[in-house]
Chain A
Amino acid sequence: MARHWRAGAAGLAVLGLTLTACGGAKVGDSSSSGSKSSGKCGTFNLAVNPWVGYEADAAVVAYVAQHDLGCTVTKKDLKEEIAWQGFGTGEVDAVLENWGHDDLKKKYITGQKTAVEAGQTGNKGIIGWFVPPWLAKAHPDITNWQNLNKYASNFKTSESGGKGQLLDGDPSYVTNDAALVKNLKLNFKVVYAGSETALIQAFRTAEKNKQWVIGYFYEPQWFLSEVPLVKVDLPKYTTGCDADAAKVACDYPVYDLDKIVSAKFAQAGSPAYKLVKNFNWTNDDQNTVAKYIAQDKMSDDAAAKKWVDANRGKVDAWLK
């Protein structure tokens, strides 16, 4: 009995579905993506490195390339090493926010000659040691490195072996912290959190529960608009003071973040290359878009549209 019933039900379902379907719109009726202008731009392969600031850069550049230049933008989510590797294999056209990375420049620009520089983004990268705002408020003298030893015991954790803990994050970023601790004779131990996620969570908890945390951080970074971390002053940076990695005893330099493109992409003279070369904005601009993405949870495209609509003048300058 049950089998008959099932077959009957199936038959009815088919009939029902077919009938209701007749009312629906057909695929390709009107939606044949009319905005596909056949510009001479072609495909533009944009690497997206895994941090929100970069995502903001990529969102805006991709939006402009798509809507003003008619490019077909392919975003590729990649870590730095792999993105640079992609220059040689032709899988990546541009990297939009490069933090120093002299090792990669040496390997791919001067060595393999598969990549070339494409100017600065206008963003200033600041690296250093930061403390949560409550701590800087409660102990204002903590922002001077000479006072760090005084507070070392407050920074003790289960991981730091009796010394103060200096928390480091994602190993992708430039760090001299182990050498700094040694050369400044600080009673601290570098503990490797291992990821940006772990680092941000540590600062977030510290601010909320008034815990003692000092760690490596950087700006521009979306998290600073949630918890405005305070930078600790290390001995001032002077040119060449970081020449010998083992003997570094000074602060990190301010990095002028720059753009790198594949050599082939630069020669082909696509309008997208011109856009990348001219792309330039401030830390505030990037933080605005990063905030749209990270805190207001907007999609990349929506965030880019909002910023571009409000800053048409800047965008037009890139397109000249």
Chain B
Amino acid sequence: MAVALEKTTALAGVRKVPRRMVVAAILVAWLVLFAVFRGKQTLSLAAADLTGLHRWFNDVNDTIGANRNSNPLFLYFFNEIRLVIDNLVTFVQGLISQPSGGRPVPQIGWLGVVGIAGYVSWAVGNWRVALLAVAGFTLFGLQGLWQESMDTLSLTLSAVLVALLFAIPLGVWAGLSDRFNRIVTPFLDFMQTMPTFVYLAPLTLFFLIGPASATIATLIYAAPPAIRITAHAIRSVPVTTVEAADSLGATRRQALQKVLLPMSKRTVVMGVNQTIMAALAMVTIAALIDAPGLGKTVVQALQSLDVGTAFNAGLAIVVMAIVLDRVTTAASGREEAARRSGGRFLTWRRPLLGAGAVVVAVLIHLSHTYVWAAEFPGSGGLGSSIASAAATATTWAQDNLSGITNTFRDVVTNGLLNPFQSLLTDSPWWLVGAVLIAMGVVLGGWRAGVTTVVCVGLLVGTGVWSDGMTTLASTVVATVLVMVLGVVFGVWMGRSLLVDRLLRPTLDAAQVMPPFVYLVPFLALFGATRFTAIVAAVVYAAPVAMKIIADGVRAVPETTVEAATSAGCSTWQIITKVQLPMSRSALTLATNQGLIYVLSMVVVGGLVGAGALGYDVVAGFSQGQLYGKGLAAGLAIVLLGVMFDRITQAAARRTSA
């Protein structure tokens, strides 16, 4: 943490030199006290040991399980919710993925679904995304994964639909009321950073094993972005516009319907987009509670370390994500684009839409009636080619790269990770707590300081302080690597549109490809170590940082860059003296998001040798008597997330002020 935040201050420039000195002083004081108190009061807890709080969590969980069938809350509340959601998912599955109504195939076959996908993409977006959608959906069939893809699509669409049903009204409310916004934000943080593994088992107690639990697990994680972005959209409608509506005598309702909602529509669609992406990120985890679809294929293939098959299914998830992302992005910009292209297009649009609808209806009818249009022809030969190519590439990398990679791992582990980790875990807890609080105050101000005090206090209370510090060390190292990559590639992408276009699909793929698919080769290269966990986190978090920094660099006014060029600055000077300093709020935002994304990979890290909090969470999911400890570890991850989020955000506000 110290390193990453120090960097932020360093970027703050000349005016804040004193603050930099204060940070340095804090670090020196820490090192001195560390030397004195090393190894005392470290609050370490062995892997199988529990605290009173952990046992209490266990008891609560057991009591709920034992009383499930007699509790009216279950009988009349949770069961009803489950029924509604189960029926929704089963209905969608019956339409496109599962045999239904006595038929051996779903109601709408592949031809119909491809037709609908193309038509809808064209209607809400444009011709180009429609082609992409048709190509993408056809690919699922060629990969031999048609039914699995449709199961995943059904579950994702249902989860997104239910999520939006709640998220948009809540988002509007949070946009209108500051008070509600303040109340709801901690809940959203909680929903986004609490590892899914922690609530997966209790969910199946509440909503039973089946589509309902999988949908709810997905929407818990996927709803927050829609709420946040909707609130943000409502807030960013210019005050003057709202005032104008008020002065014309519009009621609150009218102002909302006629001014606020239409004006924020574009941003709200981006929220929908983020919700879809988040829902797809849950596909493999939901498979652990029997959610049908591509996730199952991935999980099952990895039991026998079959990277090829897992990659094939992972690729289908990536393609689905890219199609849905591009379509919703096009949808958010469609009206603007249509307005620009002029009236002639608009006059033709209606009849064309009508004609398209007729074509799609025919396709649906065909796919309902005829076998060739219902079941995807062929045996998915492309899928096995993709699988064997991926397997060959993996074996090659494992055979040829392991010497280099081991050296790299040892340098980072011994040079950076180990010293930093021992500084954090061998210092007395009160010393680390004091350093964190002091940093919070210096970098984020008094309010951030108060949040840090609360978070440190609660972290000690969870009983997994020592594991928390181990995780913190890896998290900070990973964030530093994320920022290094983020700056290098972000600047490159920001300066060249071509590079941006070429890299973006890879970045999207890195964000939605199920981590274990690429972790198996990494395990072969780096072994089951903390470093492998760090690499996994970097792969997942770096794309976000790159995208944010690229946007920041691109937002630097062209005239400024031109002025610098004409003043004789070299490319290097332009980057370091103009573009980076001018996009410093993007840099702090990238640090913030990078950290949060790294934290969301802590559990995956626990599966590949990171130990600490991630392992605690996984163990809690697998073993009843460790459930409470897993929950406590999950809470610790949330607390770390909230603490760093508040500090970096406050720091970002200061630097941009």
Q: Which residues of A come within 8 Å of B, CB atoms?
A: 3, 6-7, 10-11, 13-14, 17-18, 21, 24-29, 31-33, 50-52, 55, 76-82, 85-86, 88-89, 91-92, 103-104, 107, 111-112, 157-159, 167, 170-172, 178, 190-202, 204-205, 209, 222, 245, 293-295, 297
Q: Are A201 and B524 touching (Cβ within 8 A)?
A: yes
Q: How far is the CB of A236 from chain B (nearest CB, A)?
A: 24
**Closest chain A residue to B107 by CB distance?**
A27
Select one of A80, A170, A205 contacting B402, CB under 8 A: A205
The interface bits of chain B over 283-308 (1 if a CB of A lies within 8 angstroms of the residue's CB, else 0) are 00001111000001001101111100
Select one of A52, A111, A190, A198 contacting B523, CB under 8 A: A198
**Closest chain A residue to B66 by CB distance?**
A112
Q: Are A7 and B352 touching (Cβ within 8 A)?
A: yes
Q: How far is the CB of B399 from chain A (nearest CB, A)?
A: 8
A–B Cβ pairs within 8 angstroms, 22 of them: A10-B355, A21-B366, A21-B372, A21-B373, A24-B371, A24-B372, A79-B621, A79-B622, A81-B624, A89-B68, A89-B204, A107-B62, A112-B65, A178-B48, A192-B47, A195-B618, A197-B305, A197-B607, A201-B520, A202-B523, A204-B305, A297-B306
A204 to B606, CA, bound (A): 20
Complex contacts, B296 vs chain A, CB 8 Å: 77
Select one of B208, B303, B309, B618 contacting A89, CB under 8 A: B208
Select one of A11, A29, A51 contacting B303, CB under 8 A: A51
Q: Are A107 and B624 touching (Cβ within 8 A)?
A: yes
Q: Most chain-B Cβ atoms within 10 A of its Cβ — which of A11, A29, A86, A190?
A: A86
**Cβ of B529 < 8 Å from any Cβ of A?**
yes
Q: Are A80 and B611 touching (Cβ within 8 A)?
A: no
**Closest chain B residue to A222 by CB distance?**
B304
B residues 599-622 with Cβ under 8 Å of A?
606-611, 614-615, 618-619, 621-622
- What are the nearest 5 A-B pairs in CB distance? A294-B304, A171-B619, A193-B528, A172-B622, A24-B370
Complex contacts, B524 vs chain A, CB 8 Å: 201, 204-205
Q: Are B362 and A159 touching (Cβ within 8 A)?
A: no
Q: Which residues of B come within 8 Å of A, CB atoms?
A: 46-48, 62, 65-66, 68-69, 103-105, 109, 200-201, 204-205, 208-210, 287-290, 296, 299-300, 302-306, 309, 348, 351-352, 355-356, 358-359, 362-363, 366, 368-374, 398, 402, 409-410, 413-414, 418, 516, 519-520, 523-524, 527-531, 606-611, 614-615, 618-619, 621-626
Q: Most chain-A Cβ atoms within 10 A of its Cβ — which of B46, B418, B607, B618?
A: B607
Q: Are A27 and B609 touching (Cβ within 8 A)?
A: no
Q: Are B528 and A178 touching (Cβ within 8 A)?
A: no
Select one of B209, B304, B306, B527 contacting A86, CB under 8 A: B209
Q: How far is the CB of A242 from chain B (nearest CB, A)?
A: 14
Q: Are A198 and B209 touching (Cβ within 8 A)?
A: no
Complex contacts, A11 vs chain B, CB 8 Å: 355
Q: Are A25 and B66 touching (Cβ within 8 A)?
A: no
Q: How far is the CB of B408 from chain A (nearest CB, A)?
A: 11
Beyond A81-B623, A158-B529, A159-B529: 4 further Cβ-contacts under 8 Å? Answer: A3-B348, A77-B300, A79-B288, A196-B303
Q: Are A14 and B624 touching (Cβ within 8 A)?
A: no
Q: How far is the CB of A299 from chain B (nearest CB, A)?
A: 10
Q: Are B69 and A88 touching (Cβ within 8 A)?
A: yes
Q: Are B368 and A192 touching (Cβ within 8 A)?
A: no
**Closest chain B residue to A171 by CB distance?**
B619
Q: Are A202 and B528 touching (Cβ within 8 A)?
A: yes
Complex contacts, A198 vs chain B, CB 8 Å: 523, 528, 607-609
**Closest chain B residue to A86 by CB distance?**
B209
Q: How far is the CB of A231 from chain B (nearest CB, A)?
A: 20
Q: Are A78 and B527 touching (Cβ within 8 A)?
A: no
**Closest chain B residue to A104 by CB distance?**
B624
Select one of B299, B359, B402, B615 contacting A14, CB under 8 A: B359
A50 to B290, CA, bound (A): 11
Select one of B68, B290, B352, B398 contacting A3, CB under 8 A: B352
Q: Are B622 and A171 touching (Cβ within 8 A)?
A: yes
Q: Are B303 and A50 touching (Cβ within 8 A)?
A: yes
A257 to B61, CA, bound (A): 27
Q: Are A21 and B615 touching (Cβ within 8 A)?
A: no
Q: Most chain-A Cβ atoms within 10 A of its Cβ — which of B48, B309, B363, B527?
A: B527
| Given A6-B352, A178-B47, A191-B528: A31 in contact with B621 (beta carbons within 8 A) | no
A136 to B47, CA, bound (A): 30
A134 to B31, CA, bound (A): 46
Q: How far is the CB of B309 from chain A (nearest CB, A)?
A: 8
Q: How far is the CB of A105 from chain B (nearest CB, A)?
A: 11
A11 to B69, CA, bound (A): 58
| Given A21-B370, A91-B208, A171-B618: A76 in contact with B290 (beta carbons within 8 A) | yes
| Given A31-B104, A91-B208, A197-B516: A158 in contact with B531 (beta carbons within 8 A) | yes
Q: Are B622 and A32 touching (Cβ within 8 A)?
A: no
Q: Are A27 and B105 touching (Cβ within 8 A)?
A: yes
Q: Are A103 and B530 touching (Cβ within 8 A)?
A: no
Q: Are A25 and B370 touching (Cβ within 8 A)?
A: yes
Complex contacts, A78 vs chain B, CB 8 Å: 209, 288-290
A297 to B606, CA, bound (A): 28
**Closest chain A residue to B516 by CB distance?**
A197
Q: Are B305 and A158 touching (Cβ within 8 A)?
A: no
Q: Are A295 and B304 touching (Cβ within 8 A)?
A: yes
| Given A192-B615, A194-B606: A24 in contact with B398 (beta carbons within 8 A) | no
Q: Are A28 and B103 touching (Cβ within 8 A)?
A: yes
| Given A6-B352, A89-B208: A197 in contact with B523 (beta carbons within 8 A) | yes
Q: Are A193 and B204 touching (Cβ within 8 A)?
A: no
Q: Are B413 and A77 touching (Cβ within 8 A)?
A: no
A33 to B46, CA, bound (A): 56
Q: Are B611 and A192 touching (Cβ within 8 A)?
A: yes
Q: How far is the CB of B201 from chain A (nearest CB, A)?
A: 6
Complex contacts, A172 vs chain B, CB 8 Å: 622-623
Q: Are A52 and B304 touching (Cβ within 8 A)?
A: yes
